[in-house]
A = this chain, B = another copy of it.
Amino acid sequence: MSLDDPVSVANEALAIANQNKFMINNLWILIATALVFVMHLGFAALESGFVQRKNVVNILFKNVMIICIGLLSYYIIGFNLMYPGSNAGGYFVFPEFLVSANSEDLTTAYGNYTIWTDFIFQGMFAATCCTIVSGAVAERIKLMPFILFCCLFVSISYPITGFWKWGAGWLDARGFYDFAGSTLVHSVGGWGALAGIILLGPRKGKFTTAGIKPIPGHSMPLAAVGVFLLWFGWFGFNGGSVLSADPGLVSKVFVTTSLAAAAGGLGAILISILIYKSFDLSMALNGILGGLVGITASADSVSAISSIMIGLIAGLIIPLSISAFDKMKLDDPVGATSVHLVCGIWGTIAVAIFGEYDKGIGEWSDQLIGIAAVGLFTFSFAFIIFYLLKLSMGIRVSEQEERKGLDIEEHNFIAYS
């Protein structure tokens, strides 16, 4: 090519520039995928830190199973169910494109990334909805029915409601807005958790005639490490949900996500000091998570000040919500319903209050309908599945097993020798 030929130089430059843009966007979503994967480690650490020493192997085993089964079942059915548009076959068609080894065909499937990238990013998301449930039902659920529940939840329930919004379904058309999943991921997990703990009942010894007895977790360092890792992973969860490496949006999402997390931690600590007169580490940890869940629906479209307000309110909600669930005798060892369900709802409402959108997007009515529709569907689905499992094979371990611990009884193993 010579300098006399500006046309071919210009065309070559344009082609490389367009390839580069695709390369950057795609790379960021892959890095975000790895960060969302870290959230599974974060949940595993958090949940095992918050359970008793005798149930640690069991909760770790569940978290290991969930990521394995979650990815495989999302590959086999979930992805296609959630994004039928990306596959000519529509619903329930086996995703043929993933059978192909020819990656070249797949590099231009979407605007900003390859279809491989799309699948693995969404797959990591999907599997998180079950990890939310696993914490809430810990220390008393049987392993096999829980695994069956996860298979159905991640491959059918989650993709259906996900499709309503992110698959360009009816909620999307209606103007419902949920940036990275306060409702579609977190409250979905929370509704599943709620159904589970209602049908399971509380752990023995939690609600006694002498009052509510706290059952402290066995390792605070493990729980704290888990929360830091979840925050780290959230940079990918929210930052990757921009679905490109757009500089303004991704950097804004990093700021709003971090400020909301910080404000959430602070809010929970303030309430702990004011009401409970204590510096409560587990409240601070759950406050951070509440702030993160709260900002997830609107991280791309609120100001920094608004993100602090959203996080702060989420942090204030956490201790009150945990206390309220306790009063209703709904036993949740890790506070997952408060963090993911209550703050997920709060975050979705916050879109209507703080979000800056065009008219007809994210308004009060849209958001409330979305919360209600997803909640109704998910809670019903989870309740029915858990109920059928309860009737057929039972979902709760025996009293003796609960007393001795699930590690010895289900796994014949102990966490610490």
Contacts and interface: CB of A to CB of B under 8 A. Distances in A.
Interface of A: 3-4, 6-7, 9-14, 16-24, 26-28, 30-31, 33-35, 37-38, 40-41, 44-45, 48-49, 52-53, 56-57, 60-61, 63-65, 67-72, 75, 98-104, 106-107, 113-114, 116-117, 119-120, 123, 143, 216-222, 224-225, 227-229, 231-232, 235, 239, 245-252, 254-255, 258-259, 261-263, 265-266, 269, 278-282, 284-285, 288, 301-306, 308, 356, 410-417
A305 to B, nearest CB: 5
A218 B301 CA distance: 45
A101 B355 CA distance: 9
Contacts of A12: 14
Contact of A6 (B6, B261, B414, B416): B6
B100 A303 contact: yes
A11 B3 contact: yes
A30 B285 contact: no
A248 B116 CA distance: 8
Contacts of A252: 103, 106, 114, 116
B250 A27 contact: yes
Contacts of A227: 64
Given A41-B228, A248-B104, A284-B64, A411 B114 contact: no
A57 B220 contact: yes
Given A6-B10, A21-B23, A64-B285, A251 B413 contact: no
Contacts of A235: 30, 33-34, 37
